[in-house]
């Protein structure tokens, strides 16, 4: 007889009773399907929501090794960043830098990209800078025509836009970005879902909190004038999460890249540490909300790596090893395998298909150029 998934699809259409308009009690169908003689050959997913988190240009070296020994050589024991991040072992250093990653994702989720242990995560675009990396990650494939960081509206449909077109997800998708070009990458004018990036004000709410946010963002002296401080992206996205409760939310931060280009290693470490705290905040907020508790997966990555040693400030086509990235997954149906070892390559293009798969959709069927989902994404 047919499989469980085939039975669901034929009984209730493309998304069936597992759509996001309601909980859709698939588990309650199991006994009925067995009585009908249908074999249950696919697991029942608890995932109903995905939050995609992203921080620009954070190296795999800091994620998996913590503060870089070579780049800390000039630091004094009395320096604030030395006290906060320097430890005698790699394991202690990385946990000091990213405590939530290593206490929670490292034990309950999956982490890809530690080249020291035979796990490689990378972009394939060859250019190794932001717009190509963002687009490869969000649409699932490399577009060779994307060769600059200019704010040109993306001619490609991202997985966010494609999912927003599905009847059960329409109006339940949103994205926020520190970098102003994020609106172009999602093609804000065409995509049909809420996108806020750069210095754009909040428009989804007219609450006193939203009005205060807009005033503060406009009047604050941001460290990088073309883009707001990451804290504003964080606050706007958290406000949206609590008020609008989207099914798919993307939040893209930028200060790790900006401080690296400025050659400010202590500030770069602080930005990475803040990002870790924000990942923890999102996870805590999600577990406190009935819509999300036990039904939400985090996917976390970056758009490119950086050079080694003294070239850590740079990335791009001519920078050796700047294609290497990292990736993390934490959710109710993702096996808790921790730090992946000797797994071969994963690529940023797999993120788009993985997001769709977690929500019950086959993105590759629609977009054959997209990379497949992560192989160990679901039980």
Phi-psi region of 158 (alpha: psi -120 to 50; beta: other; left: phi over 0): beta
Local confidence pLDDT in tens for the 379 residues of the chain? 343 333 333 333 333 333 333 444 444 443 333 334 443 334 456 789 999 999 999 999 999 999 999 999 999 999 999 999 999 999 999 999 999 999 999 999 999 999 999 999 999 999 999 999 999 999 999 999 999 999 999 999 999 999 999 999 999 999 999 999 999 999 999 999 999 999 999 999 999 999 999 999 999 999 998 899 999 999 999 999 999 999 999 999 999 999 999 999 999 999 999 999 999 999 999 999 999 999 999 999 999 999 999 999 999 999 999 999 999 999 999 999 999 998 889 999 999 999 999 999 999 999 999 999 999 999 8
Question: Cα 220 vs. chain centroid, distance in angstroms?
Answer: 27
pTM equals 0.89
Q: Could you tell me the residue ranges of all domains in the chain?
A: 4-35, 49-366
- E strand or H helix that includes residue 291: none
SS3 per residue for 327-356: EEEECCCCCCCEECCCCEEEECCHHHHHHH
What local confidence, expressed as pLDDT, does residue 343 receive? 84
Q: Would you say domain 49-366 falls under CATH 3.40.720.10?
A: yes
What local confidence, expressed as pLDDT, does residue 353 receive? 98
CA 265 – CA 214 distance, rounded (Å): 30
Q: Identify each DSSP E strand in the chain by its residue range.
A: 49-55, 110-112, 119-122, 173-177, 194-197, 248-253, 296-301, 327-330, 338-339, 344-347
CA 110 – CA 327 distance, rounded (Å): 8
């Amino acid at each position: 007889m047919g499989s469980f998934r085939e039975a669901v699809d034929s009984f209730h259409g493309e998304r069936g009773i597992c759509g996001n308009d309601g909980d859709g009690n698939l588990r309650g169908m199991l006994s009925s399907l067995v009585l009908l003689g249908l074999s249950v050959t696919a697991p029942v997913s608890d995932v109903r929501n995905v939050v995609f988190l992203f921080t620009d240009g954070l190296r795999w070296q800091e994620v998996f090794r913590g503060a870089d020994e070579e780049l800390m050589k000039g630091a004094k024991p009395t320096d604030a960043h030395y006290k906060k991040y320097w430890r005698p072992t790699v394991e202690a250093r990385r946990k000091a830098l990213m405590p939530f990653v290593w206490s929670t994702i490292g034990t309950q989720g999956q982490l890809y990209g530690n080249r020291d242990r035979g796990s490689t995560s990378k972009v394939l675009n060859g250019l190794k800078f932001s717009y190509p990396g963002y687009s490869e990650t969000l649409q699932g494939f490399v577009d060779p025509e994307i060769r600059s960081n200019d704010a040109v509206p993306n001619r490609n449909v991202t997985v966010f836009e494609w999912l927003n077109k599905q009847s059960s997800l329409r109006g339940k998708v949103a994205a926020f970005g520190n970098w102003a070009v994020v609106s172009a990458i999602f093609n804000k004018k065409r995509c049909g879902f809420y996108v806020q990036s750069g210095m754009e004000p909040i428009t989804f709410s007219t609450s006193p909190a939203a009005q205060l946010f807009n005033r503060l963002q406009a009047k604050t002296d941001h460290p990088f004038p073309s883009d707001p401080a990451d804290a504003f992206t964080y606050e706007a996205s958290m406000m949206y999460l609590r008020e609008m409760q989207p099914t798919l939310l993307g939040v893209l931060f930028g200060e790790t890249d900006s401080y690296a280009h400025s050659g400010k290693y202590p500030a770069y470490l602080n930005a990475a540490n803040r990002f870790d705290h924000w990942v923890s905040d999102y996870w805590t907020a999600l577990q406190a909300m009935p819509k999300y508790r036990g039904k939400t997966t985090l996917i976390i990555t970056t758009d490119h790596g950086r050079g080694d040693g003294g070239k850590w400030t740079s990335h791009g086509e001519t920078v050796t090893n700047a294609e290497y990235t990292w990736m993390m997954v934490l959710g109710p149906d993702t096996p808790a395998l921790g730090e992946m070892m000797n797994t071969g390559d994963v690529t940023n293009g797999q993120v788009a298909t993985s997001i769709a798969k977690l929500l019950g959709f086959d993105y590759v069927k629609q977009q054959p150029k997209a990379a497949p989902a992560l192989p160990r994404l679901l039980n």
